[in-house]
């Protein structure tokens, strides 16, 4: 009888342990879900704000509702990230580290993009940037997936009132590389013309489409490079991210680099090198095939105001007029493309 009881106890402990340690989220399915994740982050907000210029991690409690309505609470660490936004935003963007969390470790670490200064206006800017990521997802699988979040920041010391914002997660680069059967190339100095030509052409046109000049392949700025694990001869694959300085988002703090010689981020500048007309037409076909889906994505995105929907589609209208007029294609992407 004692042996039976001991065996049963071991079984129950093992069974309960297995249940507890099962991942709460599938790292792939997590980004397929369109429903916003309702999340509460409890941390020392004053310390987060005062230390935003330092790459120091601090503890936080991650609380959310699971699909079965049960509540998940796990201790994680968060680290301030970013460049410009960490210096100008009231509460800086952060990266969440789940690696030591039993039920969240499958998520590895994720960037969390939050509103910059609070308020409805900044909330709309964040939603527009979220849509920019979703637009690029429609154009290529070699893109970062995103997940919308209804976020509550709660202060552990109760010195600050809870802050309730929209936010979004950006897929971890290792997860992106894994599903594309690639690996990330870290801090590799290379010219954009030495990357995968087809993908680079698509990225060049996409950045022109959204009016973004805040990126650089040689400087490893807002571009990740992936390398095929199977094909050692394949050139690095460029994947863009961080689009808050784009004209399509049109954040009030966004200003073009003086080297661009334009006064507003709304003015499109093509930063790619020249391409043959055949190469351009191949990429343009991708944009035209996804045009209705892109416009529908914006139109059907309920959290975005009607005014911002109109501004985004009007801005895209100008892009589509350019790419569907051969003389304009030649002017922007061949005759006046960069040469160095």
How does pLDDT run across 121-152, given as a tens digit for each residue?
Answer: 999 999 999 999 999 999 999 999 999 999 99
pLDDT, residue 90, reads 83
Tokens 């609380």, residue located: 63
d(CA 60, CA 128): 28
**Residues 89-133 pLDDT 10s:** 888 889 999 998 989 999 999 999 999 888 889 999 999 999 999
Question: Does the pLDDT of residue 80 top 80, yes or no?
Answer: yes
| Mean pLDDT value across residues 48-72 | 85
Residue 89: closest CA among 153, 24, 12: 153
Residue 20 to residues 17, 25, 41, 134, Cα–Cα distance (Å): 5, 13, 21, 33
Is residue 72 a contact partner of residue 24, using CB atoms and an 8 Å limit? yes
Residue 63: closest CA among 148, 130, 169, 154: 154
| Mean pLDDT value across residues 221-230 | 95
Whether the pTM exceeds 0.85: the reply is yes
- pLDDT band for 1, please (50, 70, 90 cuts): low
- pLDDT band for 12, please (50, 70, 90 cuts): very low
d(CA 70, CA 66): 5
**CA–CA–CA angle 110, 265, 151 (5° rounding):** 30
DSSP secondary structure, 306-334, as one string: HHHHHHHHHHHHHHHHHHTSHHHHHIIII
Which residues does residue 96 pair with via DSSP β-bridges, in sequence order? 78, 110
Question: Does the pLDDT of residue 15 top 50, yes or no?
Answer: no
Numbers of helices and strands, H then E, in the chain: 10, 10
pLDDT, residue 23, reads 80
More confident residue, 311 or 119: 311
pLDDT, residue 8, reads 46
Question: Does the pLDDT of residue 38 top 70, yes or no?
Answer: yes
**Backbone dihedral region of 12: left (phi > 0), alpha (psi from -120 to 50 degrees) or beta?**
alpha
């Amino acid at each position: 009888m004692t042996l039976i009881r001991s065996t049963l106890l071991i079984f129950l402990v093992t069974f309960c342990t297995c249940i507890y340690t099962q991942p709460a989220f599938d790292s792939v399915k997590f980004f397929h879900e369109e429903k916003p994740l309702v999340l509460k982050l409890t941390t020392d907000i004053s310390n987060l704000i005062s230390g935003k210029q330092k790459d120091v991690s601090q503890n936080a409690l991650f609380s959310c509702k699971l699909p079965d309505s049960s509540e998940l609470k796990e201790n994680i660490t968060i680290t301030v990230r970013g460049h410009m936004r960490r210096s100008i935003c009231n509460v800086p963007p952060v990266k969440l580290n789940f690696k030591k969390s039993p039920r969240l470790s499958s998520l590895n670490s994720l960037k969390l993009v939050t509103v910059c200064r609070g308020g409805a206006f900044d909330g709309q800017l964040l939603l527009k940037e979220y849509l920019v990521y979703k637009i690029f997802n429609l154009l290529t699988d070699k893109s970062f997936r995103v997940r919308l979040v209804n976020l509550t920041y709660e202060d552990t010391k109760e010195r600050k009132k809870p802050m309730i914002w929209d936010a979004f997660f950006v897929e971890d680069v290792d997860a992106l590389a894994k599903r594309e059967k690639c690996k990330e190339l870290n801090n590799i100095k290379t010219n954009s013309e030495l990357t995968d030509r087809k993908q680079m052409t698509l990225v060049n046109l996409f950045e022109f489409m959204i009016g973004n000049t805040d990126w650089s392949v040689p400087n490893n700025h807002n571009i990740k490079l992936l390398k095929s694990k199977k094909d050692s001869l394949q050139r690095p694959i460029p994947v863009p991210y961080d689009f808050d300085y784009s004209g399509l988002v049109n954040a009030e703090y966004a200003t073009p680099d003086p080297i661009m010689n334009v006064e507003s981020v709304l003015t499109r500048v093509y930063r790619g090198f020249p391409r043959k007309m055949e190469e351009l037409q191949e990429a343009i076909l991708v944009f035209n095939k996804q045009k209705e889906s892109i416009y529908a994505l914006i139109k059907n995105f309920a959290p975005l105001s009607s005014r911002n929907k109109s501004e985004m589609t009007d801005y895209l209208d100008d892009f589509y007029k350019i790419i569907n007029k051969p003389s304009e294609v030649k002017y922007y992407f061949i005759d006046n493309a960069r040469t160095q």
